Structure 1
Amino acid sequence: MKKNIIISCIILVISVLLNADVLFKLDDPLGDDYGNGSVIYPENPMFDEPIFDLISFEFSEKEENYIFNFTFAARINPVKHAEFQFSYDLPDDFILPLIHIYIDKDHMKNSGFTETVFGTNILLEEESGWEKAVIIASMPQRYSGELERLQPELYRNITVLGPLLSKDEKTISARVAKRNLGEINEDWGFAVLVMSQDFSQTIRKNIYIREVNSTASQFNFGGGHSSILKDFDPNVIDLLVPPGSDQKRVLNSYDQENKKLAELQAVYPYTSSLISNKAVGEVKQVSSDKVVINLGSENGVEVGSQLIINHKIVVIAEDVFAQLTIASLKAGSSHLEITEGMKVTLLNK
């Protein structure tokens, strides 16, 4: 009898993702660093390469931190390598890309903020209202101070961090304490905006974002509207959009005459195309040190597979041998509130 039970199901024990596990990776089209479709880079040689062309966003966790990795199409040179000398002081490690990440934690209408930081000239849709945000900016203390002064209500829900640049200078990273954002679940959505940082921009409710004007100049983008009409014209160079959406359409959806900003929907990595259509099993046994799950024998589950239980993301930790995997839940994981009989959903890899 025992032999028949083992053959008919795979018994798995899962552990919480805590060891630098990649939770998801989202790709962005190459060559779409044109904002609304018409944006032209500034004329200064510092902007010769596509340093604002985001090609992937990877989200991981390690111990008590989340790790954001943004990879770009070109090498991002710090301004210390630039031949041009700025009229204002910048640190040697100052880089031009500025990244805003707005996180919707519940995917509910009329929940969270739809307003974003001054200068983006973009809103989040009502169903993508954000509860927490992360900004990756050079000189984060100065950026944070201006944000607190101009938008104190938003400031209290935003973490501002300096960028960490990879050895090949193509990936910008930031490490955020989990306590600042909370525990990720399947409802989280991410709105990612890529702009250029400019500390000379302190006008028109603009927090250090390089503007997209009608004509490109040494240090401003072209392809937008004139400076007079900048109140509603987005200053975003690249962004992530959900499947089926279009960056050009999103960034051209503003209406200057009717004073309407463009609206963006967040991307939800753990819904629709990334989640299988059916539950693959259920929780069989729960104890203080392990969770046992009964799964069908032909469901594509393997080591590293990600599962969702009670809106929490967990991972299969060890090799399967004789259709049995044994691993312990990490200490402090009782907050998962897993109980017997809960359904288990498999995330497609």
Structure 2
Amino acid sequence: MKTSRFALMTLAAALVGAPALAADKVSFKDPTGDDNGPGTYKYPTDTVYKRGSFDLTDFTFEKKGTKADVTLGFNTTLEDPWKMGSGFAVQMAFIFIDTDGKAGSGSTDTLPGLNVKFAPEFAWEKVIVISPQNSARVKAEVGNKAAAAKDNVLVPTRTKGSGRKVSATVDLAGLEGDPSQWRFQVVVQSNEGFPAGNDLLTRKVNEYEGQHRFGGGNDGDCDPHAIDILAGEGKGDASEVKAQQEMLAFECAEDGTAKKPATLTMVGGMKPAAQPAAQPAPTEQK
């Protein structure tokens, strides 16, 4: 008995399109051109916000003992116009991790300034904050504005931008296990050195874009402050653009509060990672 050529070809196609998942390393892709949140957002007008600055293209998490290397790809060459010293300036990202896949275990609320929630079955245990700000500033902001969650917030010991990639190294305090079984969500925001109110170094989205404000949202506090996220299965398929927009859909009440908040899911994790679709039974070749 020999495996049919059809079955082999189907298996090969499935593996090519699947996200890369191994015991200590996971990688996901995101479509280009979807850096507009729910489909309506526009960049600030200042020239430092280049086209593609917040367009996530790929994400890799690799565990190395008690540390992990994280890499984020963007759809433009990174620059440091504000002299942050880390090789990038306008980008910021929050990497939420669900380690157990259990509804009700973890948090569905996010950090101040993002205005998104997670579905209960995707509650997160840890979040990594990727920022061009120095770690002392980030930790101080977390302590002042997200004290209840500070034990679950990981701030990298090293963050660097080069070419189109932002890379970081983080200590995995309290984060043990197999990353291929975890679920991830990356929320792309913009580094704001003078954040409003209780926002954690994030840039606001308003109804109309301004020099340093995103537009296409709402002047209240009901719109998601997320410019790009992972969606679908994290393969970078065109269908994931629609999936992103559906997750980031929101509805505001008359007073500017959230009537229907944007609710996120995650990619990767608890389902069999690289299993192809059910195959036809092998047929004997004559």
Q: Same fold (TM over 0.5)?
A: yes
* Correspondence for 2:160 among 156, 159, 164: 164
Greater fraction of residues in strand:
1
1:31 match: secondary structure: coil
CA distance 1:60–1:270, shift in 2 (3 Å): farther
Partner of 2:224: 234
* Correspondence for 2:208 among 192, 215, 239: 215
Q: How many residues end up aligned between the 2 structures?
A: 244
Question: Contact between 1:103 and 1:190, CA under 8 Å: does it hold in 2?
Answer: yes
Partner of 2:169: 175
Q: In the alignment, residue 75 of structure 2 is paired with which amino acid?
A: A
Question: Contact between 1:253 and 1:261, CA under 8 Å: does it hold in 2?
Answer: yes
Q: In the alignment, residue 151 of structure 2 is paired with which amino acid?
A: R
Question: Contact between 1:22 and 1:58, CA under 8 Å: does it hold in 2?
Answer: no
Partner of 1:45: 47
Q: In the alignment, residue 107 of structure 2 is paired with which amino acid?
A: F
Displacement of 1:21: 8.5
List, as ranges, runs of 4+ consecutive aligned residues in structure 1 with deviation greater than 6 Å.
Answer: none
Displacement of 1:233: 0.6
Question: Contact between 1:21 and 1:62, CA under 8 Å: does it hold in 2?
Answer: no
Q: In the alignment, residue 71 of structure 2 is paired with which amino acid?
A: N
Q: In the alignment, residue 127 of structure 1 is paired with which amino acid?
A: E
Question: Contact between 1:254 and 1:263, CA under 8 Å: does it hold in 2?
Answer: no
1:115 and 2:109 are equivalent in the alignment: yes
Partner of 2:246: 249
1:129 and 2:129 are equivalent in the alignment: no
Moved more, 56-65 or 94-103: 56-65
Give a deviation string over 1:271-310, Cα, whole Å, max 9, x none. Answer: 25633579xxxxxxxxxxxxxxxxxxxxxxxxxxxxxxxx
Give a deviation string over 1:197-244, Cα, whole Å, max 9, x none. Answer: 1121132x3111111111111111111112xx1x11111110001337
Separation in 2, partners of 1:100, 1:30: 19
Question: Contact between 1:23 and 1:61, CA under 8 Å: does it hold in 2?
Answer: yes
Displacement of 1:62: 2.8
Question: Contact between 1:216 and 1:223, CA under 8 Å: does it hold in 2?
Answer: yes
Partner of 1:313: none
Separation in 1, partners of 2:32, 2:189: 16
Partner of 1:144: 139
Separation in 1, partners of 2:67, 2:171: 4
CA distance 1:183–1:60, shift in 2 (3 Å): same
Give a deviation string over 1:79-123, Cα, whole Å, max 9, x none. Answer: 24xxxxxxxxx6343511111011111111111011100010000
**Greater relative contact order, per chain length (Cα 8 Å cut-off, separation 6+):** 2
CA distance 1:121–1:43, shift in 2 (3 Å): same
Q: In the alignment, residue 108 of structure 2 is paired with which amino acid?
A: T
TM-score with structure 2 setting the length = 0.78
1:143 match: secondary structure: helix
Separation in 1, partners of 2:43, 2:184: 26
Partner of 2:7: none
1:147 match: secondary structure: helix
Partner of 2:265: 265
Unpaired stretches in structure 2, ≥5 consecutive residues: 1-21, 234-238, 279-286
- Percent of aligned pairs sharing the same letter: 28
Separation in 1, partners of 2:201, 2:76: 23
CA distance 1:21–1:267, shift in 2 (3 Å): closer
1:35 match: secondary structure: coil
Moved more, 110-119 or 41-50: 41-50
CA distance 1:242–1:269, shift in 2 (3 Å): farther
Give a deviation string over 1:3-61, Cα, whole Å, max 9, x none. Answer: xxxxxxxxxxxxxxxxx997221110011101111111111111133111000111213
Separation in 2, partners of 1:156, 1:59: 20
2:259 match: secondary structure: coil
Displacement of 1:260: 3.6
Partner of 2:282: none
Q: In the alignment, residue 176 of structure 1 is paired with which amino acid?
A: V
Unpaired stretches in structure 1, ≥5 consecutive residues: 1-19, 81-89, 279-349
TM-score with structure 1 setting the length = 0.65
Displacement of 1:155: 1.0
Separation in 1, partners of 2:260, 2:142: 23
Partner of 1:154: 149
CA distance 1:277–1:186, shift in 2 (3 Å): farther
The structure whose Rg is larger is 1
Give a deviation string over 1:157-203, Cα, whole Å, max 9, x none. Answer: 1112252113x2x1011112234421225541111100001121132
CA distance 1:131–1:45, shift in 2 (3 Å): same
2:144 match: secondary structure: helix
Separation in 2, partners of 1:109, 1:42: 37
Question: Contact between 1:21 and 1:60, CA under 8 Å: does it hold in 2?
Answer: no
